[in-house]
Amino acid sequence: MVLPPSSTKMNRMIMGSQGYIDPHYLKTGLVSKKNDIYSYGVILLELITGREAFSMERGEKLTQIIGKVGIEDMVDPRLMKYDVFDIEEVKTMVGVAGKCIGGSPAARPSATEIVTSMRDIFAHLL
């Protein structure tokens, strides 16, 4: 369980696993729908990389690898082994994840915006 700093604006407590909790929430204690968008971005990264949101062994959050390695290096080796992915689709999904985990909650897309953009991007697959 994670306890946020005390906040006079909104004093709610949310729970979550390390690696999924929005750092902005941890700093401010403010709860919003954008906290869930952050967590969704982490899940996208898990699907792309095959890694856990937080690695006890490495002592790092999955969100820390964005920008430190190339996109090809992020892809789950199991996907690369069978060549069952399109690198352009991976780049698109990493971009969506990056927007979701962005530092400012106000800059993160809404769930509706995510769905709309994914429909537009991947319409050719339907």
* Domain spanning 23-125, CATH class: mainly alpha
Distance CA 47, CA 101 (A): 15
Distance CA 46, CA 101 (A): 13
Q: Virtual CA dihedral for 94, 99, 100, 103, nearest 10 degrees?
A: 120
In the chain, where are the structural domains located?
23-125
pLDDT tens per residue, range 28-86: 888 899 999 999 999 999 999 999 999 888 878 889 877 788 888 888 888 877 777 78
Indicate yes or no: pTM above 0.85.
no
